[in-house]
Every structure is written in structure tokens, then in C-alpha cells.
């Protein structure tokens, strides 16, 4: 009887083992790193972080923390996994990603390990070991740049005491201001105060035998960890606008200039009828509009893309001024103006394209935005808020204008995308995750985003929620807008919009497969023009838009899913790479597969063998159970 029970248990084990391997992953890789952090008492400590990737997956990101963590750390894990897939040039949804954080402090908070997460995931995807003498701190931004963090002095000291020799910090944080807490006792009274001192972290690092290096983006950080420069063979961001796109831009320039001139003429005519007290002010405003228009017309000869984007802003300003004066003087009624907008929206909606291209998707996104501002204008009118009503009417017309531009671009685009519902939701989810991550991070830092950028971003998030309910193909376009404006808001909030260009250039230069996409070419041409004209704000904004294009195209499979070629670019079965201080990184148990994104013949053979084993094991169990039942019956009869 005992041997039957033993055989039964063996059979169960045989069944469960291959079933597990079939239903779960064929490849798992893990990596352990140590991230400097600051404890609740203000001291520097090291948190142990185990990262893992598993194939085949579904783009899920699993996070666990011992004992607890704040939500920003979890958000950083998802952003890190996504950016890593872009750097490794693999399909994000082909893998699952795991993060296990262990720390001696009660609560682990903030996004400061995000850049380290990204480096770790990228090294796993590319099959590269990392330098065990290097660690870092820094927030991973949705565009791949590295953002500022706190507690740098304490983190540097923790890294030094643990034997690390290289400590990477965010660019611009070398000169660091840190708090010093003092207690002064005067009899029975104890006074506690905080003073701040400034320290050069690079020089301080030399004193404690650590090389402190500033890094602006995750590519630079990855190089210091692995010795591999992913941007080494980058061809730069120079592109050539096609003749067809040039013709579209010139036609749009002519149309917008004509509309602006018409609004200025109408506004001038109204202004001339005003009393002198108002007339002088509005004539000055009109003169500024005319001067700006004349300058853009001159620029448009050599920089048509730049002039186009600047004219869109000018169009909204000219329209707003005209509507304000025309309604104030009774030439137009607010009700008729809103009705005219409604009719225009209906006419545009009838001809809106449903073509599956990024340009057409963006056009649909702007159409939805135009309808959104129309509803906002109606709501404001119902509360007798005329100023807000006029602002929303002008914004609606502006979005109609942008819809028309991208609609024309879409008609000439030959880049076919994958617009299945699951892809639309995946792209939208990534954009929303970036938005939530940035907003929570800023709020935790005591920053409340305000201004036009924050307002427009929130409007686009609201519109995206409605579009997602209908699985509209415009989700790709609205997600692009959310991704780009989320990064723009973040950089604006931390005050580095004028210094992000170099960081972004290095990020975008590694993508070489998007030059056939008209939308990408448009934004790169805008960036190049802005750089030559020394418009740093527009330069950074254009690069953020270009990066968002890459992010969307990658997720829908338009840029391929083949991983970079590296000497160690193989996925290994249950591989462990360790970066524990004082030990050497190693790769073990090297069962290799042809590529990280396809199932090899060996994978298929393994599945078939597992299935055969399962079938045989089930047969054995059935025979054993039959034998046991037979014995039980005989025993009962006796």
C-alpha cells in the first residue's frame, strides 16, 4: 500500500511540474541591485532591489515591497519597464516585469530608484551584466531623462560605506543644499532649528573615495553601469521633409495667414469705432499682432514648420481678440457664435477620417478636443461667465484648425499601424500611467501644477477617458498628446525646460526606424528649426513630441520588435545576475534562445515533451487509482 501512495505522489509531482512550465514562463531572468535611500530618521541606507523579467508575458508590472512603499515608487517601476523596452528595442507586452524592494526603513517612498530600475531592466532585456561597484539615485522621467531627487548627501554616504566606488546623480544636482538640525538649550527651554548648508557632491565624494558623476538621461547611466553605449552608432536627428509634406505645410501656412489677416482687419475696423480711452490700447495690441505676423511670414520662407506652429498660437490670439470686441460691441451675439461653432464641428465631423495612421488618429484627437471645448463654452455660458465662454470658443476653433492640418497629413501617410482594441488600450494605459505618476510625484513634492500646460493636459486626459469608452482609434493620437504634455509639465514644474534639449537629443537619436513617419519628421524639423532660431522652449517641446511619437509607434509594433544586437543578447533560463557590493557580476545556467521576442524550436520541443509527460503521468495516475479502487472493493467484500 505504501508504494502505491508513493507512486501517486510522484505522479502528482510529474504532472504539476510540466503544467507549471507550460502555463507560466519559458524564460526568467533576475537581477539584484542596491539603491541608496534615506530612512525616516534622515540617515542614508541601502535598499535591496530584485528585478526580474519573464517571457512570454503580457506587459504586466508586478511590484512588492517589504515592509511598505509609497505609490510613486510603484509608478516608477512601470515607467522604468516601459523605457527599458524602448532602449532595448523589444516589444513591451512580450514580457512581464517584477520588482521586489526590501528595506530596513518602515516606509520606502518617492521615485528616486526609478532610474536604477530602468538600467536594471534594460540590462536584463539585453543580457548584459552590470558593474557591481556602481549605484545611483534619480527619478526616471517618462521621456527617459533623469529627474532630481533629495537626500543626496546621505545617499552618497550610504553608498560609500557599502563599498560602492561610483555614484551617479541627476544632472544639475552636483551643488547640493542639505539641512542641518540643531538643538539649543536655554535653561528649561529647548529651541530646535534647521539651517541649510551647501556642498559640492563631486568634491565630497573624492574625500570618501567615491566618484560622483552627473547623468542627464538613462542612456548615460546605462553606459556607466555596463560599459555599453547604446547611442554610439546613432545617426543623429537630421531628417529631410518630403515634397508632399512640404506642399501640405505651405498650403496650411497660406490658409492660416489668410485667416489671421482677416481677423486682424475685422478687429481693426471695430477698434476704430471705440472711444479714445479704449481705442489706443486695442490698437497697440493689434500692432503687436501685425508685427508678430510679419516676422513669421519672413521666417516661413526658410522655416515653414516652425512658422506653422507659431502661427497656430497667433491664430488663437487673433480670434480671441476679435470675438471679445465683436461680442462686446454687439456685432456678434454669443448665442449665434456658439451655434456657428456647433455647425462647423458637425461639418468637420462628417468628413473626419477613420484611417489607421498616427496622423489621422491625432486629427481625430483634435476633433474630440474641439467638441470638448464647445461643451465647456456652453457650460460657462449657462453660468453667465462670458470670459471663460470666449476662451473655450477660441480653443475649440484652434483645435479644429489643428485637426485639419493633421487630417491632411494623414491622407498622405503610408505608415500602417495596428489599431486593434488591445493595442489602443495598451497605448492609452501607458499614457495614463505616465500622467498619474508625474502628478502624484509633483504633489508629493509639494508642487501643484498650474497654468496653461496643466490645464490643457487635464483637458486631454478627460477627453481620453471618453474616447477609451468607445475604443476610438483617436486614442493613439490623444495618448501621444498626453505623453508629450505630461513630460512638458514635469520639466516646467521642476524648472529645466531650457536645459533638457541635450538630454532629449541623446534619447531620440537612438531610434533610426521612424524617418518614414511624416509626423515624426514634422516634429524633428520643428526641433531643428527652433534650435537654429534659438527658441529653447519650442526646441524642447518639439523633441518631447517626437519622443512621444516613438513611444506610441513602438507599442503598436510599427517600429519592429527585434532586440538590439549585443554580444550577450540572449535570454537565459532562470538567470541570476548579482551586483552585491564586493562580488563580481555573473551569468549562469545559460540555456539560450534565438531571440528574446520569438519562440524558438527548442521552446516548442520542450512544450511537446512536457505535454507527452503530462499525458503519461495522467495515465499512470488513472491506473493507480483504478488499482486502489479495486483493492478497496475486494477489502469491502471480504
Task: Give one DSSP letter per residue of 555-580, joined into a string.
Answer: HTTTT--PPP--TT----TTEEEE--
Q: At what angle do helices 276-299 and 243-271 cross, to 10 degrees?
A: 170
Find the length of the chain. Answer: 638
What pLDDT is stored for residue 599 in this prediction? 39
Does residue 386 surpass a pLDDT of 60?
A: yes
Q: Is residue 607 part of a domain?
A: yes
More confident residue, 265 or 111: 265
Question: pLDDT category, 362, cuts 50, 70, 90?
Answer: very high
Q: Please give the Cα distance from 527 to 305 (Å, whole number).
A: 9
What pLDDT is stored for residue 185 in this prediction? 72
Query: For residue 250, which of 364, 402, 398, 405 has the smallest C-alpha distance?
Result: 405
243-252, 421-430, 591-600: lowest mean pLDDT where?
A: 591-600
140 and 43 co-located in one domain: yes
Domain limits for position 459: 419-509+527-563
Longest dimension (CA), the chain: 120
Question: pLDDT category, 627, cuts 50, 70, 90?
Answer: low
More confident residue, 264 or 25: 264
189-198, 384-393, 533-542: lowest mean pLDDT where?
A: 189-198
Does residue 634 surpass a pLDDT of 80?
A: no
More confident residue, 86 or 236: 86
Residue with cell 512570454: 56
Give the number of other Cβ atoms within 10 Å of residue 158's Cβ.
Answer: 25
Mean pLDDT of 588-615: 44
Q: Measuring CA to CA, how many Å separate 252 from each of 243, 307, 311, 393?
A: 14, 11, 10, 21
CB proximity list for 100: less than 8 A, separation 6 or greater = 49, 50, 52, 64, 65, 66
Mean pLDDT for the chain overall: 82
19 preceded by cis ω (within 30°)? no
More confident residue, 609 or 272: 272
Q: Is residue 609 part of a domain?
A: yes
Stated as kind and residue range, the H or E segment containing 337 is: helix 334-351
Q: Is residue 444 part of a domain?
A: yes
Q: Is residue 126 part of a domain?
A: yes
384-388, 426-430, 579-583: lowest mean pLDDT where?
A: 579-583
Whether the CB-CB separation of 45 and 104 falls below 8 Å is answered with yes
What pLDDT is stored for residue 234 in this prediction? 56
CA 568 to chain centroid, in Å, comes to 27
The per-residue pLDDT for range 483-521, each reduced to its tens digit, is 999 999 999 988 877 677 777 877 777 765 555 678 888
Mean pLDDT of 13-21: 46
Whether the CB-CB separation of 432 and 482 falls below 8 Å is answered with yes
Question: pLDDT category, 73, cuts 50, 70, 90?
Answer: confident
CB proximity list for 238: less than 8 A, separation 6 or greater = 524, 528
210 and 63 co-located in one domain: yes
Tell me the three cell numbers of residue 449.
Answer: 501644477
* Burial classification of residue 543, based on how many CB atoms lie within 10 Å of its CB (0-12 exposed, 13-18 middle, 19 or more buried): buried
Q: Please give the Cα distance from 7 to 573 (Å, whole number).
A: 29
pTM, full prediction:
0.82
Three-state DSSP class for residue 66? strand
48 and 166 co-located in one domain: yes
Last residue of a domain, one of 201, 226, 251: 226
**Radius of gyration of the chain, Cα coordinates, nearest whole angstrom:** 30
Query: For residue 488, which of 35, 142, 223 has the smallest C-alpha distance?
Result: 142
Query: For residue 461, which of 529, 578, 369 has the smallest C-alpha distance?
Result: 369
Tell me the three cell numbers of residue 625.
Answer: 487509482
53 and 172 co-located in one domain: yes
List the CATH number of the domain containing 69.
3.30.230.10
Q: Please give the Cα distance from 219 to 286 (Å, whole number).
A: 47
* Burial classification of residue 350, based on how many CB atoms lie within 10 Å of its CB (0-12 exposed, 13-18 middle, 19 or more buried): exposed
Does residue 10 surpass a pLDDT of 60?
A: no
Q: Is residue 377 part of a domain?
A: no
Last residue of a domain, one of 226, 254, 277: 226
497 and 611 co-located in one domain: no
What pLDDT is stored for residue 414 in this prediction? 66
558 and 609 co-located in one domain: no
Stated as kind and residue range, the H or E segment containing 32 is: strand 27-38
484 and 531 co-located in one domain: yes
CA 498 to chain centroid, in Å, comes to 20
Does residue 392 surpass a pLDDT of 90?
A: yes
Whether the CB-CB separation of 430 and 551 falls below 8 Å is answered with yes
Whether the CB-CB separation of 444 and 110 falls below 8 Å is answered with yes
The per-residue pLDDT for range 513-565, each reduced to its tens digit, is 555 678 888 999 999 999 999 998 899 999 999 999 988 988 887 665 445 54
Q: Is residue 296 part of a domain?
A: no
Tell me the three cell numbers of residue 304.
Answer: 515653414
481 and 623 co-located in one domain: no
What pLDDT is stored for residue 446 in this prediction? 85
Residue with cell 509607434: 553
Residue 92 is given by DSSP the state G
Mean pLDDT of 456-460: 96
Question: pLDDT category, 64, cuts 50, 70, 90?
Answer: confident
Does residue 374 surpass a pLDDT of 80?
A: yes
Query: For residue 128, which of 227, 53, 27, 48 has the smallest C-alpha distance?
Result: 227
Q: Please give the Cα distance from 605 to 591 (Å, whole number).
A: 14
The per-residue pLDDT for range 401-420, each reduced to its tens digit, is 999 999 998 876 666 677 78
51 and 105 co-located in one domain: yes
590: left (phi over 0), alpha (psi -120 to 50) or beta: beta
* Burial classification of residue 203, based on how many CB atoms lie within 10 Å of its CB (0-12 exposed, 13-18 middle, 19 or more buried): exposed
The per-residue pLDDT for range 303-321, each reduced to its tens digit, is 999 999 999 999 999 999 9
Q: Please give the Cα distance from 362 to 570 (Å, whole number).
A: 37
555 and 619 co-located in one domain: no
Does residue 568 surpass a pLDDT of 60?
A: no
Q: Please give the Cα distance from 508 to 219 (Å, whole number).
A: 10
Whether the CB-CB separation of 532 and 565 falls below 8 Å is answered with no
Does residue 573 surpass a pLDDT of 50?
A: no
Buried b (16+ CB within 10 A) or exposed e, 110-136: bbbbbbbbbbbbbbbbbbbbbbbbbbb
Last residue of a domain, one of 188, 206, 226: 226
What pLDDT is stored for residue 123 in this prediction? 96
Does residue 356 surpass a pLDDT of 60?
A: yes
CB proximity list for 92: less than 8 A, separation 6 or greater = 59, 81, 82, 85, 86, 430, 554, 555
For the chain, the straight-line distance linking the first and the last C-alpha, in angstroms and rounded, comes to: 17
Backbone angles phi, psi at 127, to 5 degrees: 70, 35
172: left (phi over 0), alpha (psi -120 to 50) or beta: left
Q: How many structural domains are present in the chain?
A: 3
Q: Please give the Cα distance from 292 to 613 (Å, whole number).
A: 77
547 and 612 co-located in one domain: no
Three-state DSSP class for residue 274? coil
56 preceded by cis ω (within 30°)? yes
Report the side by side order of strands in the sheet with 61-69: 61-69, 96-108, 44-55, 27-38, 575-578
Residue 145 is given by DSSP the state B
490 and 624 co-located in one domain: no
Mean pLDDT of 589-598: 34
Q: Measuring CA to CA, how many Å separate 113 from each of 51, 101, 403, 583?
A: 12, 10, 40, 21
What pLDDT is stored for residue 523 in this prediction? 92
3-state SS track over 192-242: EEEEEEEEEHHHHHHHCCCEEEEECEHHHHHHHHHCCCCCCCCCCCCCCCC
CB proximity list for 276: less than 8 A, separation 6 or greater = none
What pLDDT is stored for residue 241 in this prediction? 79
Q: Is residue 258 part of a domain?
A: no
Question: pLDDT category, 572, cuts 50, 70, 90?
Answer: very low
Q: Is residue 315 part of a domain?
A: no
Tell me the three cell numbers of residue 74.
Answer: 510603484
CA 16 to chain centroid, in Å, comes to 40
Amino acid at each position: 500500500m505504501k508504494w502505491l501512495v508513493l507512486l501517486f505522489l510522484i505522479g502528482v509531482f510529474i504532472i504539476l511540474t510540466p503544467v507549471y512550465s507550460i502555463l507560466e514562463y519559458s524564460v526568467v531572468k533576475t537581477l539584484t541591485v542596491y539603491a541608496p535611500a534615506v530612512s525616516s530618521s534622515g540617515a542614508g541606507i541601502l535598499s535591496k532591489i530584485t528585478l526580474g523579467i519573464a517571457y512570454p508575458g503580457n506587459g504586466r508590472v508586478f511590484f512588492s515591497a517589504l515592509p511598505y512603499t509609497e505609490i510613486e515608487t510603484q509608478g516608477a517601476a512601470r515607467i522604468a519597464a516601459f523605457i527599458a523596452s524602448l532602449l532595448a528595442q523589444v516589444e513591451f507586452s512580450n514580457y512581464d516585469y517584477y520588482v521586489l524592494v526590501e528595506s530596513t526603513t518602515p516606509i520606502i517612498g518617492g521615485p528616486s530608484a526609478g532610474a536604477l530600475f530602468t538600467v536594471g531592466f534594460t540590462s536584463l532585456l539585453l543580457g548584459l551584466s552590470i558593474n557591481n561597484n556602481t549605484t545611483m539615485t534619480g527619478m526616471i522621467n517618462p521621456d527617459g531623462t533623469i529627474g532630481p531627487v533629495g537626500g543626496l548627501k546621505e545617499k552618497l554616504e550610504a553608498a560609500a560605506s557599502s563599498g560602492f566606488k561610483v555614484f551617479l546623480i541627476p544632472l544639475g544636482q552636483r551643488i547640493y543644499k542639505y539641512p542641518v538640525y540643531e538643538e539649543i538649550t536655554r535653561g528649561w527651554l529647548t529651541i530646535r532649528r534647521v539651517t541649510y548648508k551647501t556642498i559640492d557632491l563631486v568634491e565630497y565624494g573624492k574625500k570618501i573615495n567615491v566618484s560622483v558623476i552627473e547623468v542627464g538621461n538613462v542612456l548615460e547611466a546605462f553606459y556607466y553601469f555596463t560599459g555599453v553605449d547604446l547611442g554610439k552608432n546613432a545617426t543623429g536627428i537630421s531628417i529631410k521633409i518630403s515634397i508632399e509634406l512640404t506642399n501640405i505645410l505651405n498650403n496650411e501656412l497660406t490658409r492660416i495667414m489668410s485667416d489671421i489677416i482677416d481677423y486682424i482687419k475685422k478687429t481693426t475696423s471695430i477698434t476704430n469705432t471705440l472711444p479714445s480711452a479704449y481705442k489706443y490700447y486695442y490698437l497697440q495690441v493689434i500692432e503687436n499682432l501685425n508685427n508678430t505676423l510679419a516676422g513669421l511670414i519672413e521666417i516661413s520662407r526658410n522655416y515653414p514648420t516652425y512658422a506653422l506652429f507659431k502661427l497656430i498660437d497667433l491664430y488663437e490670439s487673433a480670434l480671441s481678440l476679435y470675438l471679445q470686441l465683436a461680442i462686446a460691441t454687439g456685432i456678434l451675439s454669443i448665442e449665434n457664435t456658439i451655434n456657428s461653432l456647433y455647425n462647423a464641428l458637425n461639418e468637420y465631423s462628417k468628413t473626419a477620417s477613420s484611417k489607421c495612421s498616427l496622423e489621422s488618429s491625432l486629427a481625430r484627437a483634435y476633433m474630440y478636443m474641439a467638441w470638448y471645448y464647445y461643451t465647456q463654452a456652453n457650460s460657462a455660458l449657462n453660468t453667465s461667465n462670458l470670459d471663460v465662454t470666449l476662451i473655450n470658443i477660441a480653443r475649440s476653433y484652434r483645435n479644429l484648425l489643428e485637426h485639419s492640418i493633421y487630417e491632411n497629413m494623414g491622407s498622405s501617410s503610408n505608415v500602417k499601424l495596428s489599431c486593434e482594441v488591445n493595442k489602443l488600450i495598451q497605448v492609452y494605459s501607458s499614457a495614463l500611467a505616465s500622467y498619474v505618476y508625474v502628478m502624484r510625484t509633483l504633489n508629493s513634492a509639494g508642487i501643484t501644477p498650474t497654468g496653461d500646460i496643466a490645464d490643457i493636459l487635464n483637458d486631454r486626459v478627460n477627453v481620453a477617458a471618453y474616447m477609451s469608452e468607445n475604443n476610438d482609434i483617436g486614442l493613439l493620437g490623444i495618448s501621444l498628446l498626453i505623453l508629450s504634455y505630461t513630460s512638458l509639465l514635469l520639466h516646467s514644474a521642476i524648472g529645466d525646460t531650457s536645459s533638457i534639449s541635450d538630454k532629449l537629443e541623446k534619447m531620440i537619436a537612438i531610434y533610426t526606424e521612424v524617418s518614414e513617419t511624416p509626423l515624426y519628421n514634422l516634429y524633428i524639423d520643428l526641433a531643428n528649426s527652433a534650435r537654429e532660431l534659438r527658441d529653447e522652449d519650442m526646441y524642447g517641446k518639439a523633441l518631447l513630441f517626437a519622443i512621444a511619437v516613438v513611444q506610441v509607434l513602438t507599442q503598436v509594433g510599427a517600429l519592429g520588435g527585434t532586440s538590439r544586437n549585443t554580444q550577450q543578447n540572449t535570454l537565459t533560463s532562470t538567470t541570476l545576475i548579482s551586483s552585491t557590493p564586493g562580488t563580481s557580476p555573473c551569468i549562469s545556467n545559460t540555456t539560450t534562445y534565438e531571440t528574446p521576442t520569438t519562440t524558438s524550436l527548442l521552446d516548442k520541443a520542450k512544450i511537446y515533451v512536457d505535454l507527452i509527460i503530462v499525458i503519461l503521468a495522467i495515465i499512470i495516475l488513472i491506473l493507480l487509482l483504478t488499482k486502489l479502487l479495486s483493492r478497496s472493493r475486494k477489502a469491502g467484500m471480504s
